[in-house]
Structure 1
Amino acid sequence: MNIGDKVRLLHGNEEGTITRISGSGRIEIEIEDGFKIPAMKNEVVVIHQTEKEYFGEGQSAIPQTAPLEAPKSSQPQGGIFISYIPLNDKDLSVHLINNTDKDYLFMASEIFGDNSRTLASGNFSAKTSLKIDEKVIAQFEKWPELFFRFIPINHKAEKTQPAFEKKVKFKASSFFKSQQTAPLTGKKGYLFTLNQQTKDLNIKELNQDLNEESAPQPNEKQFKRPEKEIDLHIEKLADDHEFMSNSEMLRLQMETFEKNLNYAIASGMDEISFIHGIGNGVLRKEIHKYLSQLENIKYFQDTQKSRFGYGATFVRIN
């Protein structure tokens, strides 16, 4: 049993990833919502071992992640990655990969509160990889936050592309599920994209949309009517949720909940359901606490098990 193993509690439904192991036989498990629970080694079983016993050696119920494809040359900003390549069963080698046709000036740093330590900086040429650090798997929980800054270099007169920054703080539940073959190096490791495609703002269209929104619309409700069922699972709300802390995920989920609840009330809806999952119940508790303080809520309750497995809250609006 090692850090990064996916495990299941023998006397419960919780599943998660081991993030810490102590000499007393205690372990710490990060479950699906990013929260951590303590357990003893003899209270859990490694999932892949259980599935091998059930399905046999030739099959596995764990889906294998397909290798990440290199971006097309028509996407000049796509394809800057950070890859953690195993050196052995204890250590990882950290690499930056620039699988684009663009050179960048870059800086990679570790953040320690108000202090920082620069791991590497300089010119990051197109179609190259660069080793910037090594990490010990057993110290995963102590890895500091990472900060990256990339500035594109134009060697000739061409369209200026924006610089971008990225902060990274990994969660065990997503980190150890991200094994992919890295572009350029061809080595299998834990791979993450540091940049995402962004759409250039069309100022003319933006102004037109703003003018249309500001114009009074007769016989039209002021607030957008939300769907009757709002899914608050973090993977539905953020593409880069694997880089978010627990508090950041909870904040985004609560903001989405509050916004849709307000829209439901303002648009005259009678009822709405919020799907929050089971997990350790933190999000459900915060939602119920918020609802209990509102006067225009007739009642709220857990939904029928046949629909969401008690992983949702039904709200009846006055």
Structure 2
Amino acid sequence: MKYKLGDFVRFVDEKMEGHITRIIDEEMIGVTTEDDFEIPVLARKVTLVHGYKAPGTEITTDTNEPQTPQGEFKTKGVYLGVLPDAKANSVVHFNLINDTSFQLLITLTTEKQVFKGEHAGIVAPHSAIKIYSAQLADLQLWPKLVLNILYYTTQNFEAPSPLIISEKFKAKDFAGSKKNLPVLNQQGWLIQLDEPDFVIDAGKLKESFFKSADEKVEVAKPAREVDLHIEKLRDDYQFINSSEILKIQMDYFNKALDAAIVHHLTDIVFIHGVGNGTLRNELHKALGKNLKVQTFMDAQKRNLALAQRGYY
């Protein structure tokens, strides 16, 4: 099939266009239109719209290596940057970011029962190329990505050892906040591929064992209203399943409730939304068991009255 996730296409028989958000099989694709409705369609019934480029899809074709001054030659900075498609948010693009002064020779193979070559090419110094795209809803089904990276330069610098990365990405790999991606200068998830192995700082570890018992943990005073909607708590909520979302919301709730008790707040409001009622039920269970909570009310009153005594 000539199409890939994120491609912008136009229907042959209708005045419609949109982005490919699903590869169903060798003949069928899913196209999401401007109204965010995904339409299954035969691949032969659409045509590629030339000129549109999704973020991170620009490929540097100039392989002439620029000569970098001796003191400015950069040997570290190979990243995998994951960007949501600007038009089809259900699709993400994996970009190989080369922020070093080396040329990188790369291959990408996916492994899921069978091996499939996905990309091979050269990444010029201080540039980035898209190497893979995936559907967010299928995150748990993503194949293992196998990256092989070789360093090359015509200048008088020793090339580092080749990088071989074999990784089956999961939601937890995108648990951190979005960052500004080097070279691309866009917000996304960043994974450094040439980072050295994590080294434990023995000095800091020793200090953590011998902290004074008199040291007190400072608890920040919570806001009067605490919004528990997952999009307010995490930037990566698209990657998290429902059970993990509930755990994150309850952990945030318990932390805010404990802080309210510590600071002797007489009331606090938790905004949980409507949804299917699962979060609301869990909140009610937790509040009903907490001896510090005097009363709690839902919807109309929206106040959680905390006990006036027993804080000490």
Q: TM-score range with shorter-chain normalisation?
A: 0.3 to 0.5
Structure 1 or 2, whichever has the larger Rg, is 2
Higher relative contact order (CA 8 A, sep 6+): 1
